[in-house]
Amino acid sequence: MSRLTRDKLEEIISKDKPGYHIVEIGDSDVAEPESRDAPAPDAEALQLRYFGAPTGSSAPREAAAADQDKPEDEIVVLAPVDSGADPWQSGPGPKTVVVSGSEGRVIIEQG
């Protein structure tokens, strides 16, 4: 799945939440785990192991491939434009929103 660009996110925020700017985007500070266990088998190997040979068409795989092209939803932290130098300390607090990648609009808001 692709991610929305920062420019596209700023365009959506300026349209849906005027008076706010982006403070941070999603999981920018999420660290990768230091070590990993052995990799899990892929879905087709698990299906073969537990359900036997696949029957029918490959429509679910084709639908999953089509979903890979859609942009994923983004969690974005916003602050009012005129909130001062530190959006975490002065004025109204930050607001967290979820931007739909497929719809191109804010779909959830908190704060």
More confident residue, 4 or 1: 4
pLDDT tier at 28, thresholds 50, 70, 90: very low
The answer to whether the pTM exceeds 0.75 is no
Residue 73 has pLDDT above 60, yes or no: yes
pLDDT tier at 49, thresholds 50, 70, 90: confident
Structure letter (DSSP) for residue 72: P
- Give the burial class of 87: count Cβ atoms within 10 A of its Cβ; 0-12 exposed, 13-18 middle, 19 or more buried: buried
Contact call for residues 24 and 97 (beta carbons, < 8 A): no
SS3 per residue for 19-64: CEEEEEECCCCCCCCCCCCCCCCCHHHHHHHHHCCCCCCCHHHHHH
